[in-house]
Amino acid sequence: MPGSWGLPDRADLRDRFRQLLTSAGYLGLLAVALQVGRASGQLTCLGLMAALGFLAWAATYKRARAIADIATSRIGAAAQGYVELIGHASGAASETVITPYGGVPCIWYRYRSYSRSGRDGDWQETDHGSSNVTFEISDGSGVCRVDPDHAEVIAPQSRTTYQGDDKHIEEFLLRGSLIYVLGEFSTLGGAHTALSVSEDVRELLSTWKQDPVELKRRFDLDGNGEIDMHEWELARRLATRMVEKEHREIRNIGDSHIVRAPADGRLFLISTLPPHKLRQRFVWWSLLHLSVGVLALGSIVWLQR
């Protein structure tokens, strides 16, 4: 239910697919190990299972630690950099996008389309996509925009529709939902705006030079048709005053916050789950992968004996 931490209709397909793909790798290697008659082949399969298990354990545990190591920040007091935020998604109609097949009004969506093919009628993916419009969250202390590009979105709402032999799975975040975000926080505008008086003065003077007739009309004080050093200095001082005034106006504009994908490749999460449930999910998966790795390693030791 929007406005509270609720149970989603379906967990994130990307996260599930990653875990199921790893599980399928375990089962495939185990099946090959059971069918191979030679001990060397069995040891190879078990070795690959152990390596896959330990690598998956390390990657999943790292994700759990990324959530556990960062305390939730208030938007109005968040430091620049990697942060964890929780806020309600905007309920404004201007923030709404519409899912392409179900027509669900939301703030973000992604979809996958499938068609039946072959004699067995298996589902084959034919199309996929997602919205890339930023949306807004607020927590009472401030407002922050979220750029979902490159985000891993976990546990959105989900709906499946059928059109003849086609199937469309749409996932979406509803307006008013409580949203968890882990990503790179930055403040734009206001006192945080990076401005250079010298560069802007140089650019403004360069613009004036492109219209020599107007330049002479404004600054050729003695009317000799040339801009001498004294007159050019007056032009430079005027340009400086104009740039400084513009900078003051820019810095008086209120701050604008945004969360994006970290440039250094760190985890970028958007979820309808609270952080403790996200952390718990990753911890359980990491324990599963670790168990597979340990069992495979133990089987290698047993076979060698």
**With pLDDT > 70 as the criterion, what percentage of the chain qualifies?**
82
The answer to whether 134 touches 183, Cβ cutoff 8 Å, is no
The answer to whether 144 touches 87, Cβ cutoff 8 Å, is yes
The whole-angstrom separation of Cα 41 and Cα 251 is: 68
Q: Determine the pLDDT at residue 5.
A: 42
The whole-angstrom separation of Cα 149 and Cα 191 is: 27
Residue pLDDT, tens place only, 78-88: 999 999 999 99
Q: What is the mean pLDDT of residues 262-269?
A: 92
Q: Determine the pLDDT at residue 37.
A: 60
H-type helices in the chain, by residue range? 13-35, 39-68, 197-209, 212-219, 229-252, 275-304
Q: Determine the pLDDT at residue 12.
A: 40
Q: For residue 89, report the phi and psi dihedrals to the nearest 5 degrees.
A: -70, 145
Residue pLDDT, tens place only, 210-219: 888 888 888 8
The whole-angstrom separation of Cα 244 and Cα 259 is: 30
Residue 170's pLDDT band (boundaries 50, 70, 90)?
very high
To the nearest whole number, what is the mean pLDDT of the chain?
83
Q: Determine the pLDDT at residue 192.
A: 58
Q: Assess whether pLDDT exceeds 70 at residue 13.
A: no
Indicate the pTM of the whole model: 0.66
DSSP 76-120: GGPPSEEEEEEEEEP--GGG-EE-TTT--EESEEEEEEEEEETTT
Q: Assess whether pLDDT exceeds 60 at residue 54.
A: yes
- Terminus-to-terminus CA distance in the chain, angstroms? 56
Q: What is the mean pLDDT of residues 67-74?
A: 92
Contacts of residue 118, defined as CB under 8 A and 6 or more positions apart, other chains included, come to 124
Residue pLDDT, tens place only, 286-299: 898 888 888 888 88
Q: Assess whether pLDDT exceeds 90 at residue 268.
A: yes
Q: Determine the pLDDT at residue 181.
A: 96
DSSP 278-305: HHHHHHHHHHHHHHHHHHHHHHHHHHH-
Q: Determine the pLDDT at residue 214.
A: 87
